[in-house]
């Protein structure tokens, strides 16, 4: 939903401010998507079951309005315009965009996931400048360990210190398995 909203914001920004109104199509979509995010913010601390009930009762109705508006307006919008691209994205991604309503544990947006991999994508560009293929692989492996530690709420420095002390002693698959970040003893987290 963050991507869908971003496309619509671009379309809205393309219209001069003096010509904008609350009836501007992109603005209407942005307000509806805002209702979805407001519901998620309100239910952030709720149990998954309670959040799912809210989604089924409230968010599903907002989604129906968005879908109806998309289907009504899309034929009259130039496909290559910013708004046309936004509506094409909405229409094409619709089955994926509404999936979150099925499960109260699923997030409305994949922004947290994308934010967590952004540093790796930036680092990946740096791997292009490694002196050797083995060096690039080593950098990627090390980066993967750091990001896995972060994903498991473990201080990467503490994990790597623990790992590098034990790694030379590992001989079997089970030994290596015991070195995964989520296997770090609780007293070291």
Tell me the residue length of the chain.
189
Answer whether 63's CB lies under 8 Å from 95's CB: no
- Mean pLDDT across the chain: 89
Name which of 174, 153, 150, 178 is nearest 165 in CA terms: 178
Closest CA to 69 of 22, 28, 118, 122: 28
Contact call for residues 66 and 29 (beta carbons, < 8 A): yes
Residue 124 has pLDDT above 80, yes or no: no
pLDDT band at 132 (very low <50, low <70, confident <90, very high): confident
What is the model's pLDDT at position 187? 76
Q: According to the model, what pLDDT value does residue 127 have?
A: 65
Is it the case that residue 125 has pLDDT exceeding 80? no
Which residue in 93, 95, 73, 94 sits closest to 84, CA to CA?
73
- Per-residue model confidence (pLDDT) at position 118: 75
What are the pLDDT digits (tens) for 33-45? 999 999 999 999 9
pLDDT at 170 over 90: yes
Distance, in Å, from the CA atom of 60 to the CA atom of 55, rounded to the nearest integer, reads 6
Q: Please report the pLDDT score of residue 146 as a whole number.
A: 87
Q: Taking phi first (over 0 means left), then psi (-120 to 50 degrees means alpha), and beta for anything else, what does residue 153 get?
A: left
What is d(CA 148, CA 153) in angstroms, rounded to the nearest whole number? Answer: 9
Render pLDDT for 59-98 as a digit per residue (tens, 0 to 9). Answer: 999 999 999 999 999 999 999 999 999 999 999 999 999 9
Q: Band the pLDDT of 140: cuts 50, 70, 90.
A: confident
User: What is the DSSP secondary-structure string of 78-124?
Assistant: -TTSHHHHHHHHHHHHHHHHTGGGG-TTS-S--HHHHHHHHHHHHHH
The mean pLDDT value for 46-51 works out to: 96
pLDDT at 128 over 70: no
| 110's tokens | 């994949």
Give 28's pLDDT tier (boundaries 50, 70, 90). very high
Phi, psi (deg, nearest 5) at residue 64: -60, -40
**pLDDT (0 to 100) of residue 179:** 92
In this model, does residue 53 exceed pLDDT 90? yes
Contact 55, 101 (CB under 8 A): yes
């Amino acid at each position: 939903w963050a991507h869908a909203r971003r496309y619509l914001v671009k379309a809205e920004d393309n219209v001069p401010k003096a010509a904008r109104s609350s009836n501007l199509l992109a603005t209407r979509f942005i307000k509806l998507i805002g209702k979805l995010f407001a519901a998620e913010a309100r239910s952030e601390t709720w149990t998954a079951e309670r959040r799912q009930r809210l989604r089924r009762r409230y968010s599903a109705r907002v989604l129906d309005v968005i879908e109806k508006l998309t289907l009504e307006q899309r034929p009259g919008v130039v496909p290559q315009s910013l708004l046309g691209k936004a509506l094409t994205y909405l229409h094409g991604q619709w089955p994926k965009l509404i999936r979150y309503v099925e499960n109260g544990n699923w997030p409305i947006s994949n922004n947290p996931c994308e934010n967590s991999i952004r540093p790796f994508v930036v680092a990946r560009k740096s791997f292009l400048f490694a002196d050797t293929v083995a060096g690039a692989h080593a950098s990627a492996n090390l980066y993967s360990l750091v990001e896995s530690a972060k994903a498991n709420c473990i201080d990467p420095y503490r994990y790597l210190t623990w790992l590098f002390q034990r790694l030379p002693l590992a001989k079997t698959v089970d030994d290596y398995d015991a070195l995964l970040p989520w296997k770090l003893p609780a007293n070291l987290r």
